[in-house]
């Protein structure tokens, strides 16, 4: 799994480029040790707890999306540069459809 999102996140925090808005409030119980780490990051980077949690969650979700495996099926959906591209029979197509449906509400 690539750390690029986390590296970019830390660079943004270092340069105080963190997005200061929170669009949706969600309560989530977390382990005490993780809570301490969040507080330490917030104090270190002069950001709120909520900003740290929101940015970490966003970066983790990007990495999860990138890590959902492509599983080629039998059906060719198009040809790219002479090579067949097979339909994805893994979780990604269903995930994307659900995400689109939820985003449209």
Residue corresponding to tokens 């990007």: 62
- b (16+ CB within 10 A) / e for 42-80: beebebeeebbbbbbeebeebeeeeeeeeeeeeeeeeee
The confidence score (pLDDT) of residue 8 equals 80
The confidence score (pLDDT) of residue 1 equals 45
The confidence score (pLDDT) of residue 92 equals 96
Number of domains in the chain: 2
CB burial class (10 A; 0-12, 13-18, 19+) of residue 10? middle
Helical ranges in 27-91 per DSSP H: 32-45, 49-67
Domain of 99, in residue numbers? 72-103
CB 55 within 8 A of CB 77: no
Compute the distance between CA of residue 42 and CA of residue 53 in angstroms, rounded to an integer: 9
Answer yes or no: do 20 and 52 share one domain: yes
The confidence score (pLDDT) of residue 15 equals 78
Strand partners, 79: 84
Over its length of 105 residues, how does the chain's per-residue pLDDT go in tens digits?
467 878 887 887 777 765 656 677 888 999 999 999 999 999 999 999 999 999 999 899 999 999 999 999 999 999 999 999 999 999 999 999 999 999 998
Answer yes or no: do 54 and 77 share one domain: no
The confidence score (pLDDT) of residue 9 equals 79
Answer yes or no: do 57 and 21 share one domain: yes
């Amino acid at each position: 799994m690539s750390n690029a999102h986390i590296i970019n996140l830390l660079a943004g925090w270092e340069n105080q480029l963190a997005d200061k808005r929170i669009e949706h409030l969600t309560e989530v119980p977390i382990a005490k040790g993780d809570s301490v780490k969040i507080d330490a990051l917030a104090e270190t980077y002069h950001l709120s707890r909520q900003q740290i949690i929101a940015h970490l969650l966003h970066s983790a979700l990007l990495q999860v999306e990138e890590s959902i495996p492509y599983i080629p099926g039998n059906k060719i959906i198009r040809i790219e540069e002479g090579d067949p591209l097979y339909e994805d029979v893994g979780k990604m197509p269903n995930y994307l459809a659900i995400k689109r449906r939820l985003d449209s509400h």
